């Protein structure tokens, strides 16, 4: 398993979730729809990798997700000027 790719996929999913949470709280309707769709699309590709990986996979993926939560809030606040 490519750990960089696994880290990035975890980060991408949670970046989108963080951004979507902010959009929902601030009623950004188009963003909610587009990012909500994207979250599900990324999840479809991630679920098998994360669920059936080894222990290193199960550490790398959540590390990416943790970074994604920070990145998602930062990007969303930057884009929307919060």
pTM for the whole thing?
A: 0.83
Query: What are the CB-based long-range contacts (under 8 Å, 24+) for 20-23?
Result: 21/72, 22/72, 22/73, 22/76, 22/77, 22/80, 22/82, 23/76
**What's residue 48's pLDDT?**
74
Q: How many domains does the chain have?
A: 1
pLDDT in tens, the chain (82 residues): 589 998 999 999 999 999 999 999 999 999 999 999 999 999 888 877 777 888 898 899 889 999 999 999 999 989 988 6
At 1 the pLDDT is 58
Instruction: Supply angle C-alpha 10, 59, 18, rounded to 5.
Output: 30
What residues make up the domain containing 51? 3-80
User: Taking a C-beta distance cutoff of 8 angstroms, is the pair 6, 53 a contact?
Assistant: yes
């Amino acid at each position: 398993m490519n750990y960089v790719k696994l880290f990035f996929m975890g980060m991408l999913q949670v970046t989108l979730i963080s951004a979507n949470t902010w959009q929902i709280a601030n009623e950004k309707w188009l963003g909610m729809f587009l990012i909500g769709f994207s979250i599900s699309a990324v999840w479809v590709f991630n679920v098998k990798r994360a669920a059936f990986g080894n222990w290193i996979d199960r550490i790398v993926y959540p590390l990416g997700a943790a970074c994604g939560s920070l990145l998602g809030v930062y990007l969303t606040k930057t884009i929307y000027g919060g």
